[in-house]
Amino acid sequence: MAENGTFEIVDRDGLARIARFQTPHGIIETPGVMPVVNPNIIVLTPSEMRKLGMQSLITNSYIIKRTPDLAERALREGVHSLVGFDGPIMTDSGTFQSFVYGGIEYSNKDMLDFQKRIGSDICTILDIFSTPDDGFSKAQYAVEETFRRTSEIPDDGTIYAGTIQGSIYPSLRRRSTRIMSGSAVKYLPIGGVVPMLESYSYADLVSAIHSAKMNADFSKPFHLFGGGHPMFLALSVLLGVDMFDSASYIKYARDDRVLLQDRTMDLSDLERIPDWSPLAYMYTLKELRDLQKNEKTKALATHNLFAIFSEITEIKQRIAEQSLRRYVKEKVRSHPYLMDAYMKFLGYRDVRYFEQFSRKTPFYYAGLEDRKDPIYLRLRNFCLKEIAGRDDQIVVVDDSLVSPVISLDSGIVHAYENSSAIFVKNWNGIPVPIEMWDTYPVQQSISSRSGKRSNMLATLSRILPGRQVTVLKDRHAYKMPEGNRRFDLEKIRMIARYQFSTDNSSLIFPDSCAVRTSRRTDRIRTVSYGEDLIATLRASDGLLTFTSAGAKLLDAAIPGMKCRVMVSDESRDFNLQGKNVFFKFIVKSDMDIVPGNDTLVVDEAGTLIAIGKATVSGREMGSFRRGVAIDVRSGLGQSG
């Protein structure tokens, strides 16, 4: 069994991740929501909540400690017996009560010791609560004093949570996250956000989350305290939040309020019970309204919690199929302030470091928002750089000449091979060179009509003023500048430049390379050099996968630590034989490694020993100490 506190990624979509977090009472799969359970008033039992999808819960250790009967029983039997749940339990420490009442009667040490003694799986330090109205100095004090309290954490193997504070100040959120990440805590909640949620200050909340996440230890779960409303969950997960807690399911139920996926309604305004609700086949709307207060509260709490868990299930599905960003675009249109928050998120360029080159689902282009998608921006920047780096004539191929598959014996390819011009087509405003037409997202996309009408010519004239641009509607109608080149070779070279940000693609694929195509589709399948197979071109996304022979060419063409991880001598021989690279054996790595991309593995002397697929980005590589970092495809010491 994995060590307690171990966090391993199972699947990902940008910053969003499905992961497994090991606790003494079992694994928590993220993203997830912990229902808040008041030990004094349990409306839904944990067994009832588990049937709705609960896997962990949070309860308040301060309430337990200050209530003699509860404290005595918790110390005797444990918190799990007290609340009737044998799964993972997190305990809060009384921070909110301290904020409301101006302090509590126990110290941070008292609360940490009590949480451990009652058997909490995740114990929380007694942090200093910040509000959006706090001045900088007051918020700064909360950050520093909260961090000081981490020095009181005993070294006993317990999972401790250290809350990130900082109010609305990005610099304080960044500092709080960095110092908490470097402390003994293994769990990172971000606090002081409930006032932002209650005031619909979603843009401020996005800023707080982003400032913290970009400075967090990625090997530790990232928890948004109090952020459990279905309408904000998806955007939060897209920002990198792993866990939530929610008391809203019961608070709203007591006020006869109903949680829906995109809003909250008064029961009196509801016209019908949603078909997906567990109440739909138990009550008519009138019967639900006429229930006794306690029964109605329990029924509505059941519905509300189910709504929350249903949203989490949908989010996990979207992560697995890598369509979460598309789902968020739909969700944020439910409220103008959510849309404001999403537009703020789109302005963060640093999220690009966590995006793969391709996704499992097609790229949906519906409008200008999608031009801020990291995959769109990466392709746009690359294509413009390729075109700007050459002085040749630009030939814009009319859509009427563009077929879904570029056959190697097509007229457009013959025109290309007998000229030196740069052949491009319009893809949603990007002038995409012909060599990239089969590469994700160009071939694997669905575009609205507005995207197809995007004025690429205006883009070219603005970025490359004075360059000769010709629109090709009939390949026989214009005389091309003479040239002699191989389309198949130039295609794989350009894709290599795209994947590995190198100008040495001719060293990776020398002139004598042999390119084999599919008889059925005429698409490039494999590339050989001499007698060695060096690469394949994936049909799914038009990107390259390299063999061990190809890895040697990559290694010779790309200098330094670029596209590489260095492993310790302890791991070297295992990786040579094709075994996976584990995080704990990485000595250093390239910060710009793209998750899912081919990555070279070298030993401490810098000698190539293996090639494989990176499971995380270069920004994350140094955080993890457990799990697979490089899924090795081939070790250079393998026979055959």
Helices (H), 449-518: 449-452, 456-463, 487-500, 505-508
Q: Residues 421, 472: one domain?
A: yes
Helix (H) or strand (E) holding 447: strand 445-447
Is 194 part of any domain? yes
> Which conformational region is residue 7 in: left (phi greater than 0), alpha (psi within -120 to 50 degrees), or beta?
beta
Is 427 part of any domain? yes
Q: Residues 140, 170: one domain?
A: yes
The predicted model scores a pTM of 0.94
How far is 490 from 343, CA to CA, in rounded Å?
38
- Cβ(567)–Cβ(611) under 8 Å? no
Is 460 part of any domain? yes
- Cβ(535)–Cβ(492) under 8 Å? yes
- Cβ(32)–Cβ(7) under 8 Å? no
Is 1 part of any domain? no
Q: Residues 376, 236: one domain?
A: no
Domain that holds residue 443: 363-485
Question: Is residue 206 packed enough to be buried (19+ CB in 10 Å), middle (13-18) or exposed (0-12)?
Answer: buried
Query: What pLDDT shows up at residue 71?
Result: 96
Q: Residues 499, 480: one domain?
A: no
**Segments of the chain scoring below 70 in pLDDT:** 1, 101, 402-409, 450-454, 475-483, 639-640
How many domains is the chain partitioned into structurally?
3
Q: Residues 515, 399: one domain?
A: no
Q: Residues 73, 151: one domain?
A: yes
Is 106 part of any domain? yes
How far is 89 from 26, CA to CA, in rounded Å?
10
Q: What is the CATH number of the domain that holds 175?
A: 3.20.20.105
Token pair belonging to 265: 């309604």
Is 334 part of any domain? no
Q: Residues 523, 410: one domain?
A: no
Is 277 part of any domain? no
Q: Which of 216, 247, 278 is a domain's end point?
A: 247
How far is 168 from 201, CA to CA, in rounded Å?
10
Query: What pLDDT shows up at residue 557?
Result: 97
Q: Which of 203, 224, 247 is a domain's end point?
A: 247
Is 610 part of any domain? no
Token pair belonging to 346: 């789109």
How far is 594 from 508, CA to CA, in rounded Å?
19
Q: Which of 202, 229, 247 is a domain's end point?
A: 247
Query: What pLDDT shows up at residue 456?
Result: 82
Q: Residues 501, 445: one domain?
A: no
How do beta strands 544-546 and 445-447 pair? Answer: unpaired
Q: Residues 391, 526: one domain?
A: no
Q: Any idea which residues carry the catalytic annotation?
A: 92
Q: Residues 523, 492: one domain?
A: yes
Nearest to 497 by CA among 509, 487, 483: 509
How far is 342 from 369, CA to CA, in rounded Å?
10
Question: Is residue 259 packed enough to be buried (19+ CB in 10 Å), middle (13-18) or exposed (0-12)?
Answer: buried
Q: Residues 401, 533: one domain?
A: no
Query: What pLDDT shows up at residue 588?
Result: 96
Query: What pLDDT shows up at residue 1?
Result: 63
Q: What is the CATH number of the domain that holds 507?
A: 3.10.450.90
Count the alpha carbons within 13 Å of 515 in the hemisphere toward its beta carbon: 18
Query: What pLDDT shows up at residue 408?
Result: 53
How far is 531 from 547, CA to CA, in rounded Å?
13
Q: Residues 468, 501: one domain?
A: no
Token pair belonging to 592: 């710009």
